[in-house]
């Protein structure tokens, strides 16, 4: 029988408000403005997922679907050093794929799911979920079609997470101007893109924002088992930390 594993974020404070980290067999979403640390969190967790369980890891491999071209193997090496892991081993345990359009993003997910058969993958990163969908479907008249394709992608993600006991971490952007939707946005007026279809797919949703100085703030907005709490974290050479 498969058991849920919690994978650490690299920040003890953030882990605490998450109840120990991000869960396998589930989709978690982090959303927020540019430079708040979504990609750095993705890199950090790609290393931690490989660690022994007593270090917050899941002793597994990682698949990384990059839609914005911001993956940096050098960062993986630096984060690996923080945890005393061989940098090359850490890089080799990450199956990396760069998606160039939304259709390709779907194809890559199908390929990744094939790799999961008979292999111990424990983390799947999608950084970021909506970027290519937003480019491929720009007009108002295309919104229905976009949401349909997005729904197909998310259904597959849910299936993969459950079947292979994998934690899915997807990053997301915020609407630059919540405008007419401001009523539905958080107190700070920031709302993730992707509509109700994305909201429904994510079991856990976390808003990231900049705090004072180098500080960043993570706020749980949606969780199956944790209250709406905040935690602060910083971005270091070794990845996300307290
Ligand atoms: P997002 O994906 O949310 O747009 P990123 O995860 O790319 O944001 O985070 C960018 C931030 O991470 C920048 O403020 C940058 O200074 C910081 N950062 C990147 N690398 C390092 C590092 N090695 N040490 C400290 N901070 C870093
Ligand atoms: Mg990013």
- Tell me what pLDDT residue 139 has: 87
31 contact partners, CB below 8 Å, separation of at least 6 = 38, 171, 172, 173, 174, 190, 192, 205, 206, 207, 208
Query: Which of 37, 44, 192 is the pocket-test mutation for ligand 1 (most atoms within 8 Å of CB)?
Result: 37
Strand, coil or helix: 174: strand
The rounded Å distance from CA 67 to ligand 2 centre is: 9
In the block, which residue shows the tokens 């594993």? Answer: 5
Nearest ligand 1 atom to alpha carbon 34: 4
- Output the 3-class SS for 100-151: CCHHHHHHHHHHHHHHHCCCCEEEEEEECCCHHHHHHCCCHHHHHHHHHHHH
- 209-237 tens-digit pLDDT: 999 988 999 999 989 889 999 999 999 99
Nearest ligand 1 atom to alpha carbon 78: 23
- Tell me what pLDDT residue 181 has: 52
- 86-142 tens-digit pLDDT: 999 999 999 999 999 999 999 999 999 999 999 999 999 999 999 999 999 998 899
Tell me which residues have their CB closer than 6 angstroms to ligand 1: 32, 34-40, 235-237
Angle (CA) 106 4 47, round 5°? 65
In the block, which residue shows the tokens 């990682």? Answer: 62
Q: How many residues does the chain have?
A: 242
Confidence tier at 177 by pLDDT (50, 70, 90): low
Tokens of 13: 């404070």
Nearest ligand 1 atom to alpha carbon 41: 6
Average pLDDT over residues 5-29: 98
Confidence tier at 68 by pLDDT (50, 70, 90): very high
Q: pTM for the full model?
A: 0.95
- Tell me what pLDDT residue 1 has: 76
Q: Is the pLDDT of residue 184 over 60?
A: no
Of 29 and 177, the structure prediction assigns the larger pLDDT to: 29
* Residue 96 to residues 66, 70, 82, Cα–Cα distance (Å): 8, 12, 21
CB 170 within 8 A of CB 199: no
Q: Is the pLDDT of residue 178 over 60?
A: no
Between CA 162 and CA 150 the distance in angstroms is 19
The mean pLDDT of the chain is 94
* pLDDT > 70 in the chain, percent: 95
Closest C-alpha residue for ligand 1 atom 18: 235
* Ligand closest to CA 66: 2
- Tell me what pLDDT residue 140 has: 86
The rounded Å distance from CA 2 to ligand 2 centre is: 31
157 contact partners, CB below 8 Å, separation of at least 6 = 27, 109, 124, 126, 168, 170, 201
Closest C-alpha residue for ligand 1 atom 15: 35
Query: Which of 210, 216, 235 is the pocket-test mutation for ligand 1 (most atoms within 8 Å of CB)?
Result: 235
Average pLDDT over residues 199-213: 95
* Ligand closest to CA 68: 2
Per-residue DSSP letter, 157: H
CB 237 within 8 A of CB 75: no
Q: 177-191 b/e with 16+ CB inside 10 Å = b? A: ebeeeeeeeeeeebb
């Amino acid at each position: 029988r498969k058991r849920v594993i919690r994978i650490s974020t690299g920040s003890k404070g953030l882990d605490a408000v998450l109840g120990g980290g991000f869960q396998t067999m589930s989709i978690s979403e982090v959303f927020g403005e540019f430079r708040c640390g979504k990609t750095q969190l993705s890199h950090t967790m790609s290393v931690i997922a490989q660690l022994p369980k007593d270090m917050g890891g899941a002793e597994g491999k990682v698949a990384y679907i990059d839609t914005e071209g911001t993956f940096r193997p050098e960062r993986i090496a630096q984060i690996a050093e923080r945890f005393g892991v061989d940098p090359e081993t850490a890089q080799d345990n990450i199956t990396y794929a760069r998606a160039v359009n939304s259709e390709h993003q779907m194809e890559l997910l199908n390929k990744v799911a094939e790799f999961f058969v008979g292999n111990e993958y424990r983390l799947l990163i999608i950084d970021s979920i909506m970027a290519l969908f937003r480019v491929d479907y720009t007009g108002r008249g295309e919104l229905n079609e976009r949401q349909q394709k997005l729904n197909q992608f998310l259904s597959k993600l849910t299936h993969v997470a459950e079947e292979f006991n994998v934690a899915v971490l997807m990053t997301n952007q915020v609407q630059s101007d919540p405008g007419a939707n401001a009523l539905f946005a958080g107190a700070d007026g920031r709302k993730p893109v992707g509509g109700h279809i994305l909201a429904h797919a994510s079991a856990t949703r976390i808003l990231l924002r900049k705090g004072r100085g180098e500080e960043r703030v993570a706020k749980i907005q949606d969780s199956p088992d944790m209250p709406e709490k905040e935690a602060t974290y910083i971005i270091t050479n070794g990845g996300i930390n307290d």
